Structure 1
Amino acid sequence: MTTDLTTDHTRATADGAHTHGAPGVGVVPEASRASRFASFDLAEFPAVTGAEEEWRFSPVDRLQHLISGAATGAVSVDVTPAQGVTVTVTDRDGASTPGVAGVPNDQLAATAWIAAAQRTQVTVGAEVETDAETTVVVRGEAGAPAASAHLLLTAEHHSKALVVIDHVGGGELAQTVEIDVHDGAHLTVVSIQDWDRGAVHGSSHRARLGRDATLKHIVVSLGGDVVRVTVDGEFTQPGSSLESLGLYYADAGQHLEHRLFVDHAVPRCTSRVTYKGALQGESARSVWIGDVLIRKAAEGTDTYELNRNLVLTPGARADSVPNLEIETGEIEGAGHASATGRFDDEQLFYLKARGIPEDVARRLVVRGFFAELIQQIGVPAVEDRLQTAIEAELELTGL
């Protein structure tokens, strides 16, 4: 029997009309996202109980070192820059260090900010255009003290570049990734969480977009025991565009969590969010929270967010909560959709009726589920790597 829990909301049009589905799905939180507390100083945050909106789906006990400010260790950060890209490593001083993009809005993000002793800055020079990728390898060590890291990615005006951040190894890491896309720049950022089992990773990505800037932000979560990635996108000038893509595959005992907040604070900006995940094995868990805020001044906004989850085996659980908050009716469109389900029995029947064995048919369904998203990434090396990873996951499941 196919289980399909779907919320697919009609896009709001210029009159501001939109609909919401079942309670808890697509419902705007009681307090506006705009009013959520944020600070660079961890001491200003209350203690985490697990009942807070930003923590109610998270395994707080497994994230304690990354929430409490104890992540004072270090990890290896190695950068291989493309031509026209520079790398600078500087010492920093906790909460007094000035931020470039956004403000931490939870305790883990604040821990990552105050605890990092150094900042690695990757800068794409003004008007530099390169198709070659800049790679950043973040390597942790199992058994080492909980660590923190700060990465700043800057695309200066009218530049074009690709940055791939690869997380490997083990240990515990609280991380800040600031992304500053200047006027007219085009930047693609790919963050791959390919940790060894046992790793715990909390990462706060905060992006700031200038006038007519374009950011393609891609998150891929495959490894680790607990991975929690928050992505905040802030539009500061009209005409900018954010495309946020995500792919995750949770195995038994893994917790993979992705939280997004797109802040439309200025007119005529566009955002598209598409995340897809598969889950297999006992206690495999995924969480996706998508918050979009269209402020009163953000006339001409065009936004849409989508999350799809495919549950492959009993015992796995996916939570998906899209939230859309609109303060003006003068928009181009806004909407969201969310669905979680098992294999489509009709698809399997169709394939089996044409002589395809069931195990092969199941693999085809999973490949097809991810294929459209992988093709949108637009980075051949990353696409090939994901295809290989999905095949390995299918072998593990025995599909």
Structure 2
Amino acid sequence: MATTTEAPAAVEEGRVVPGSTAHSDGAFVPVQTRSERPTSYDPADFATPTGREVDFKYTPVARLAPLFVDEAGPSGVIEVTVHASDAVEQRTLAVGDAPRGEVFIPGDLPAAIAWTHEADAPLLRIPAGVELDDPVVVELHGTGGLAHAHVVIEAMPNSRATVLFRHTGTAQHAQNVEILVRDGARLDVISVQEWDDDAVHAASHQARVDKDAFLRHFVLSFGGGVVRVNPSVELAGSGAQGELFGLSYADAGQHLESQVYLHHKGPHTRGDVLYKGALQGSGARSVWIGDVLIGPDAVGTDSYEANRNLVLTDGARADSVPNLEIETGDIQGAGHASATGRFDDEQLFYLQARGIDEEQARRLVVIGFLAEIVQKLGIPSLEEELSAAIERELAAGTARDLAR
């Protein structure tokens, strides 16, 4: 890889300032605080990740390498089908067309490249006061190759809707999702990753939630070789609420990652983050990093984040890093928790003592562990589908164990 002796650009208010230079003492101080990390729309302002950066230190950057190349991929790699009510406004946004870029600012190289190479960003707008009974479903099927995307979802004041993304097939996909939840709106955004085993997917979801609005955001990852979906939510308006949920099931050789950022900016906001993961097989890997920032004006905040992981076999690894920053003392409460472990022997003993064999007991423990996230979706057909996917994952793991 080529190197350069040029000084990096300086950072002003969290953004890279092109053409400027770093501090004259030449000392390199890595940025740790999430809110201070540089952002830019220009891919040239980001160095190619090496794995030493704070936001890539747990990521297999060699496997993400196709997404670090600043060039347009071939057209038609992702086949997109949208199922939506006639009430939903659909059109495209060029760079500079509002509301594209109202909240989204790329924070890493894949996001900046996706921004640059998405000439016409699809807009899904739910009009003011409209309540949709059925979810808007966006099916994305990869046919192989490099693909970039920037999608904008806008829930206008006092609207109600659910938007469901379903990813299947294979691709090397850099994806941005920009979410705007206007005053009094309620929006659920669900991203399901059921890619083929060789797919690579790096997604940046950035959202702003305005006054008395409510966003529920789900990341559900089962398929793909490397899947990195990073949601960032700003609770900007007074009384804004955000719930961020995640579920992952990593098999042998899979890397499933989410770096979550919840920024309490307005007063009297409420946030709840819960991600759960199961891992089985040699080389199965999950990464969860949760950053919560309670800003100086976020008085009356109530916030909690947690990550729980269940390691089912030897050779699997889960990394879990919760972080909490509080810049005001006038809050209702804030906390974080993280736990990673194997089966609870007491639970297994309890079930086996009642005549349930060990295999079935383990199955019940895993299903019960993950069901908490599945049951929050509120879409019965999707809940049934994900429950079946968990069953298939468990069966596949049992079959591999028997083969050995």
TM-score, length of structure 2 as denominator length = 0.88
Moved more, 167-176 or 94-103: 94-103
Per-residue deviation, 1:46: 2.5
The answer to whether structure 1 residue 372 and structure 2 residue 372 are counterparts is yes
Equivalent in the alignment of 1:88: 91
For the aligned residues, what is the CA RMSD?
A: 1.8
Corresponding position: 1:278 with 2:278: yes
* 1:157 paired residue number: 157
Q: CA deviation at 1:87?
A: 1.5
Alignment of 1:257-268 (within 5 A): 257-268=257-268
Shift of 1:95: 12
What do residues 165-200 of structure 1 show as CA deviations (whole Å, max 9, x unaligned)?
111110110001011111000011110011111000
Q: 1:96 to 1:189 in 2, by over 3 A?
A: closer
Asked if 1:133 corresponds to 2:135, the answer is yes
Give the equivalent residue in structure 2 for 1:12.
none
Provide Cα deviations, 1:329-379, integer angstroms capped at 9, x if missing partner. 111110011000011111111111111111110101101101222112222
Once residues 125 and 367 of structure 2 are traced to their aligned partners in structure 1, the CA distance between those partners, rounded to angstroms, is 36
In structure 2, the partner of 1:221 is 221
Q: What residue number does 2:395 align with?
A: 395
**AA matched with 2:116:** I
The residue type equivalent to 2:84 in the other structure is P
Q: Secondary structure of the equivalent of 1:346?
A: helix
Aligned residues of 1:155 and 1:185 also touching (Cα < 8 A): yes
User: Does the 8 Å contact 2:212/2:239 carry over to 1?
Assistant: yes
What is aligned with 1:37? 38
Q: Aligned ranges for residues 164-313 of structure 1 at < 5 Å?
A: 164-313=164-313
Secondary structure in structure 2 of the residue aligned to 1:396: helix
Contact preservation (8 Å) 1:72, 1:116 = no
Equivalents in 2 of 1:162, 1:342: separation in Å? 35
Gapped regions of structure 2 (runs ≥ 5): 1-29, 400-404
Q: 2 CA distance for matches of 1:310 and 1:300?
A: 34
Amino acid paired to 1:73:
P
TM-score, normalized by length of structure 1?
0.89
- The 5 Å alignment of 1:308-387 reads 308-387=308-387
Is the partner of 1:361 in helix, strand or coil? helix
TM-superposition CA deviations, 1:107-141 (whole Å, max 9, x none): 12112211223211111111001221111011111
Paired with 1:378 and 1:71, the residues of 2 have a C-alpha distance of 38
Q: Distance in 2 between matches of 1:56 and 1:387?
A: 32
2:108 pairs with 85, 102, 106, which one? 106
Q: CA deviation at 1:47?
A: 2.9
C-alpha displacement of 1:93: 4.7
Distance 1:183 1:137 in 2: 28
**Residue 131 of structure 1: SS of its match in structure 2?**
coil
SS at match of 1:231: strand
Measured against aligned partners, the alpha-carbon deviations of 1:90-119 in whole angstroms (never above 9, x if no partner) come to 4x3599995022311111211221122321
Please give the secondary structure, in 2, of the residue aligned with 1:267: coil
Where does structure 1 lack aligned partners over 5 or more consecutive residues? 1-28
Matched to 2:58, the amino acid is F
Q: Secondary structure at the match of 1:164?
A: strand
Counterpart CA distance in 2 for 1:387 and 1:278 is: 13
Which secondary structure does the structure 2 equivalent of 1:286 belong to?
strand
Find the aligned partners of 1:376 and 1:97 in 2 and give their Cα distance: 30
Q: Check 1:80–1:98 CA distance in 2 against 1; reply closer, same or farther (3 A cut).
A: closer
| Secondary structure of the corresponding residue to residue 377 of structure 1 | coil
Distance 1:118 1:264, change over 3 A: same
Deviation at 1:283, TM superposition (A): 0.1
Output the CA distance in 1 between the equivalents of 2:320 and 2:176: 24
Q: Which has the higher contact order (CA 8 A, sep 6+)?
A: 1
**Corresponding position of 2:4:** none
Report the Cα offset of residue 70 of structure 1: 3.4
Find the aligned partners of 2:236 and 2:328 in 1 and give their Cα distance.
17
Letter of the 2:60 counterpart: P
1:51 aligns with 2:52: yes
| AA at the equivalent of 1:382 | L
